[in-house]
């Protein structure tokens, strides 16, 4: 390995997208070298971490060669954009032609993507290099990536701990420097909780901001695609690339993307930051994570923001309502897996009913079956009013609570999770105990607003974090406050033990 | 309101899941745990509160009524466990207990 190659191998994994694109567009390093360096790193590290379900060297190198050709032909840095040459990867529920889309389920083993997911396509159109597809909880049902049928993903900060979930692979890949930006999906916290557990920046955009076309649906009134990155600015660039109306997803709203990158430089002077005092007294919240919220509020105040104290009493009803609405919508979405058009098919079926029943039971894992069962029950005749309708009303209460908050504040500061990353198997006996790790993230999905988890400091070698929440289509506020906090904390994301020489 | 094992089986049938006898008891326990947890919702007084299905002020978004290409047939069929002559193959469908007596029905399946 030459000195230049060695230097690249040492520095590239924790570079920001802007740094990578500057190197590539100035021809200091070719996109091909970037791709090779990252593919080598994945080869070297991913055996222990297992962030990737599939690595795609051909696609990465083809995109790199394409970009190098454009640059050789005289395309400027300005034309190519700040993401040009950035190595990216995608949660394995997003379709990309030339890859499999398995949702980490036996049900979709070998499924070939027939078309491209819009968000994936848009990120690749920004001249990024696709490295592969990432592990997740089966069909995104879980908070630790332990329900994956392809094996456990290990937290790069401590291999005995989970990376969070369901987008655990997307989080671990960025955290271990095996991608600069990845995409995940967030239904109840599946981007922000794993971001919190791995010391990465995770953004759940407003409902309707990003098209979900080509992303396998979990709960259609809650799902949203968003990026993982090391830095807030990379998150801003990624959102800028994937946001906007898509005729192929009727729920994507016709609201133009803004210059999120510029928001990062705006500062917080005059911003109103809400702190929910009742949320900080919640039983089960690690006092050290409470301190991160209070310290963050103080830092923002020191930079010119105004801190207001509020309460969000409906938060504790978010989880129970979510565990009605999520499974209800999921049970309906999962009905498409019938062993006929795609997916696992049972052998020697006697008739169509036998085919349905055995194909589904053989293809789905335990947590998927549990969620389908709950969803089917709460939607069934005689129970609809007491569960589903009730949960829809709770949703109104949550939404009204946030409306009141955003009448007085621009952003809300809360913990991302009540706990630091937990160990494998810690909640094996009680499914509801693990659900609590999404306590602070779920209400944000219920209200359809935007949230970001941001790493703060290391506590006993594990990443701590805070969550910023903003009103519908006010992601610019998240980037303003997020960038300001990031510069104060200077989280040491490049000191992750995985892959240190 | 605790679920009985018979109810668990019934839900399994509605959900088109073939639950093994050995799995019923475990599922019953887990589902009851979740339903007990979900009961916390009932603490709230929701009298007169309107339900929310979509979080954003969603209005129907209609596209222009123009023809656009759909997925090519090969792409649609490429993940089918069994297909033949441009169609999905399914096992024989028995309707209302009337069995089709023909030996070789289209899509005879496996």
Residue B110 predicted with pLDDT over 50: no
Q: Do B51 and A360 touch (CB under 8 A)?
A: no
Cβ atoms of residues A199 and A453 within 8 Å: no
The minimal CB distance from B16 to the residues A356, A387, A449 is found for A356
User: What is the average per-residue pLDDT within A236-252?
Assistant: 96
Q: Do B8 and A373 touch (CB under 8 A)?
A: yes
Residue of B nearest to A473 (CA): B56
B2 interfacial to chain A (CB closer than 8 Å): no
As a whole number of angstroms, the distance between CA A21 and CA A15 comes to: 10
pLDDT per position as a tens digit, A74-89: 999 999 999 999 999 9
According to DSSP, the β-strands at A87-91 and A129-134 are parallel
A442 interfacial to chain B (CB closer than 8 Å): no
Which residues, 6+ apart, have CB-to-CB distance to A266 below 8 Å?
A: A480
As a whole number of angstroms, the distance between CA A347 and CA A501 comes to: 50
Q: Do B53 and A446 touch (CB under 8 A)?
A: no
B contact residues 24-43, partner A, Cβ 8 Å cutoff: 27, 30-31, 33-35, 37-43
Residue B95: pLDDT band with limits 50, 70, 90: low
A376 interfacial to chain B (CB closer than 8 Å): yes
B59 interfacial to chain A (CB closer than 8 Å): no
Structural tokens at position A375: 């969803």
The minimal CB distance from B15 to the residues A376, A445, A446 is found for A376
ipTM, 2 decimals? 0.90
Cβ atoms of residues A430 and B33 within 8 Å: yes
> Where is A174: in which H helix or E strand?
helix A168-175
Strand partners, B104: none
The alpha-helical segments, DSSP class H, found in A339-452 are 352-363, 366-379, 390-408, 431-435, 442-447
Q: Do A340 and B14 touch (CB under 8 A)?
A: no
pLDDT of residue A446: 97
A220 interfacial to chain B (CB closer than 8 Å): no
Which residue, among A219, A373, A403, would best test binding to B if mutated, counting the most B CBs under 10 Å from its CB?
A373
Residue of A nearest to B9 (CA): A373
Residue B61 predicted with pLDDT over 60: yes
Residue A460 predicted with pLDDT over 90: yes
pLDDT per position as a tens digit, A147-161: 999 999 999 999 999
Which chain B residues have a beta carbon less than 8 Å from that of A247? 63
Q: Which candidate, A134, A129, A154, places its Cα nearest to that of A144?
A: A154
A322 interfacial to chain B (CB closer than 8 Å): no
**A470-495: string of b/e by CB count within 10 Å (b at 16+)?**
bbbbbbbbbbbbbbbbbebbebebee
DSSP letters for B32-66: HHHHHHHGGGGGS--TTPPP-S-SS-----PPPS-
A446 interfacial to chain B (CB closer than 8 Å): yes
pTM above 0.90, yes or no: yes
The minimal CB distance from A370 to the residues B30, B50, B81 is found for B30
As a whole number of angstroms, the distance between CA A378 and CA A373 comes to: 9
Which chain B residues have a beta carbon less than 8 Å from that of A253? 56
According to DSSP, the β-strands at A462-470 and A450-459 are antiparallel
Which chain A residues have a beta carbon less than 8 Å from that of B90? 340, 352, 355
**B34-55: string of b/e by CB count within 10 Å (b at 16+)?**
bbebbeebeebebeebeebeeb
pLDDT of residue B54: 78
Nearest-Cα distance to chain A for B31, in Å, is: 7
B109 interfacial to chain A (CB closer than 8 Å): yes
Which chain B residues have a beta carbon less than 8 Å from that of A114? 71, 75-76, 78-79
Which chain A residues have a beta carbon less than 8 Å from that of B41? 317, 320-321, 324, 390-391, 394
Residue B103 predicted with pLDDT over 70: no
Backbone angles phi, psi at A214, to 5 degrees: 90, 5
Which chain A residues have a beta carbon less than 8 Å from that of B49? 393, 396-397
By CB atoms closer than 10 A (0-12, 13-18, 19+), residue A456 is buried
Structural tokens at position A429: 């006996």
Q: Which candidate, A314, A209, A272, places its Cα nearest to that of A480?
A: A272
Residue A259 predicted with pLDDT over 80: yes
The minimal CB distance from A208 to the residues B56, B60, B80 is found for B56
A22 interfacial to chain B (CB closer than 8 Å): no
pLDDT averaged over every residue in chain A = 96
Which chain B residues have a beta carbon less than 8 Å from that of A369? 17, 19, 27
Residues of A noted as catalytic: 91, 166, 190
According to DSSP, the β-strands at A306-310 and A272-276 are parallel
> Where is A293: in which H helix or E strand?
helix A287-302
Residue A1: pLDDT band with limits 50, 70, 90: confident
Which chain A residues have a beta carbon less than 8 Å from that of B76? 114, 341
pLDDT per position as a tens digit, B41-56: 988 999 999 998 877 7
Residue B107 predicted with pLDDT over 50: no
User: What is the average per-residue pLDDT within A46-67?
Assistant: 98
pLDDT per position as a tens digit, A325-363: 999 999 999 999 999 999 999 999 999 999 999 999 999
| A82, A255, A475 from A451: Cα distances, Å | 23, 18, 8
pLDDT of residue B93: 77
pLDDT of residue A3: 85
Domains of chain A by start residue, with CATH: 7-317+392-495 (3.90.1300.10)
Nearest-Cα distance to chain B for A91, in Å, is: 20
Residue B105: pLDDT band with limits 50, 70, 90: very low
Q: Do B91 and A352 touch (CB under 8 A)?
A: yes
């Amino acid at each position: 390995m030459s000195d230049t190659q060695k230097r690249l191998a040492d520095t590239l994994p924790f570079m920001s997208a802007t740094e990578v694109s500057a190197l590539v567009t100035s021809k200091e390093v070719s996109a091909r070298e970037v791709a090779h360096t990252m593919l080598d790193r994945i080869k070297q590290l991913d055996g222990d971490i297992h962030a990737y379900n599939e690595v795609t060297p051909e696609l990465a190198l083809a995109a790199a060669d394409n970009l190098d050709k454009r640059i050789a032909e005289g395309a400027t840095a300005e034309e190519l954009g700040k993401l040009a040459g950035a190595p990216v990867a995608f949660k394995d529920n997003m379709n990309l032609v030339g890859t499999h889309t398995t949702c980490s389920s036996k049900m979709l083993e070998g499924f070939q993507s027939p078309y491209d997911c819009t968000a994936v396509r848009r990120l690749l159109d920004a001249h990024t290099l696709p490295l592969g597809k990432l592990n997740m909880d089966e069909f995104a049902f879980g908070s630790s990536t332990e329900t994956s049928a392809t094996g456990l993903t290990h937290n790069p900060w401590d291999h005995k701990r989970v990376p969070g979930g369901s987008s655990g692979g997307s989080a671990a890949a960025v955290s271990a420097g095996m991608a600069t930006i990845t995409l995940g999906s967030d239904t109840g916290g599946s981007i922000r909780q794993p971001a919190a557990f791995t010391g990465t920046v995770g953004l759940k955009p407003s409902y309707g901001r990003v098209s979900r076309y080509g992303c396998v649906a979990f709960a259609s009134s809650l799902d949203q695609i968003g990026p993982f990155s090391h830095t807030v600015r990379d998150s801003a660039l990624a959102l800028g690339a994937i946001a906007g109306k898509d005729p192929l997803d009727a729920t994507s709203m016709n609201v133009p993307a803004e210059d999120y990158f510029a928001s990062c430089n705006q500062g917080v002077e005059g911003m109103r930051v809400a702190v929910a005092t009742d949320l900080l007294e919640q039983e089960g919240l690690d006092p050290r994570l409470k301190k991160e919220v209070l310290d963050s509020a103080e830092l923002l105040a020191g930079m010119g923001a105004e801190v207001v104290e509020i309460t969000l009493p409906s938060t504790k009803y978010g989880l129970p309502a979510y565990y009605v609405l999520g499974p209800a919508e999921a049970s309906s979405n999962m009905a498409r897996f019938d062993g006929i058009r795609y997916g696992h098919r049972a052998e020697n079926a006697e008739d169509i009913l036998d085919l349905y029943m055995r194909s589904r039971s053989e293809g789905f894992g335990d947590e998927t079956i549990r969620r389908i069962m709950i969803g089917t029950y709460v939607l069934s005749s005689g129970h609809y009013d007491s569960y589903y309708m009730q949960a829809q009303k709770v949703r109104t209460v949550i939404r009204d609570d946030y409306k009141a908050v955003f009448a007085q504040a621009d952003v809300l500061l809360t913990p991302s999770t009540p706990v630091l990353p937990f160990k494998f198997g810690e909640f094996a006996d009680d499914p509801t105990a693990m659900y609590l790790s999404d306590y602070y993230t779920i209400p944000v999905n219920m209200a359809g607003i935007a949230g970001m988890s941001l790493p703060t400091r290391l506590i006993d070698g594990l990443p701590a974090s805070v969550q910023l929440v903003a009103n519908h289509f006010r992601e610019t506020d998240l980037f303003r406050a997020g960038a300001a906090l990031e510069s104060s904390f200077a989280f040491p994301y490049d000191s992750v033990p995985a892959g240190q020489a | 309101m605790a679920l009985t094992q018979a109810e668990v089986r019934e839900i399994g049938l509605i959900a088109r899941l073939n639950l093994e006898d050995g799995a019923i008891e475990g599922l019953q326990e887990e589902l009851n745990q979740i339903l007990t947890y979900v009961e916390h919702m009932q603490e709230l007084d929701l009298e007169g509160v309107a339900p929310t299905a979509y979080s954003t002020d969603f209005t129907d978004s209609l596209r222009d009524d123009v023809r656009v290409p759909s997925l090519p047939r090969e792409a649609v069929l490429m993940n089918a466990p069994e297909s033949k002559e441009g169609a999905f193959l399914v096992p024989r469908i028995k309707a209302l207990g009337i069995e089709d007596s023909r030996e070789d029905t289209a899509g005879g399946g496996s």
